[in-house]
Amino acid sequence: MSKSDERAAFSKRLEHELARLPEKVRGPTQLANQFNLRHQGERQITAQTADKWLKARAIPNEENLATLCTWFGVRYEWMRHGVLPREVPVDPLAYPLSYESLLIARQFETLDPEQRFLVGEMIKQLYTKKPPTPDGG
């Protein structure tokens, strides 16, 4: 398979996976924004990079492919080469993260260690706090 055929096949798989998402991602700017919220690497992508993926002018590097696979819940071999099976076995305890959850997580990552500790302790307190009973107890 030629490089241009590989890029075209990847682009079709990317479009397919984007169409399956509950939150619709339209265009390279939205793709870059949503991708960057999920990406744990040092370098974020630009709308221009996302456009290259969508228009079959480039295939993401391994690190970026791993982020896409995690986001879409698909295997690396499927996303990169089209090798079936497509889906990764699903963890029954996992749930899809909302945009707000991802944004909060991204903000949390920017805090220094002491601030992270304090936020973590506050969350533990809120999470373990029992709601009041009707009798006030």
Instruction: Report if residue 106 sits inside a domain.
Output: yes
CATH number at residue 14: 1.10.260.40
Instruction: Report if residue 21 sits inside a domain.
Output: yes
Which pLDDT tens digit goes with each residue over 66-125? 999 999 989 999 999 998 887 766 565 566 677 788 888 888 888 888 888 888 888 877
Same domain, 113 and 86: no
Separation CA 126–CA 119 (nearest Å)? 11
Give whole-number Cα distances, 121 to 48, 78, 112, 117, 129, in Å. 40, 40, 14, 6, 12
Same domain, 34 and 70: yes
Same domain, 7 and 70: yes
Crossing angle for the helix pair 27-38 and 47-54, to the nearest 10 degrees:
110
Same domain, 86 and 36: yes
Same domain, 81 and 32: yes
Total of domains in the chain: 2
| Whole-structure pTM value | 0.65
Same domain, 59 and 104: no
More confident residue, 132 or 106: 106
Instruction: Report if residue 135 sits inside a domain.
Output: no
Instruction: Report if residue 76 sits inside a domain.
Output: yes
Residue type, 46: T
Domain that holds residue 124: 97-130
Instruction: Report if residue 137 sits inside a domain.
Output: no
pLDDT for res 127: 67
Q: Taking Cα atoms as reference points, which of 46, 4, 7 lies closest to residue 28?
A: 46
Can you point out the beta strands (E) in the chain?
Answer: none
To 10 degrees, the CA torsion angle through 101, 33, 35, 93? Answer: 20
Separation CA 108–CA 82 (nearest Å)? 35
Separation CA 116–CA 120 (nearest Å)? 6
Chain center to CA of 60: 14
Which pLDDT tens digit goes with each residue over 28-51? 999 999 999 999 888 999 999 999
Same domain, 14 and 40: yes
Same domain, 41 and 12: yes
Separation CA 87–CA 107 (nearest Å)? 30
Instruction: Report if residue 45 sits inside a domain.
Output: yes
Residue 7 has pLDDT above 90, yes or no: yes
Same domain, 108 and 53: no
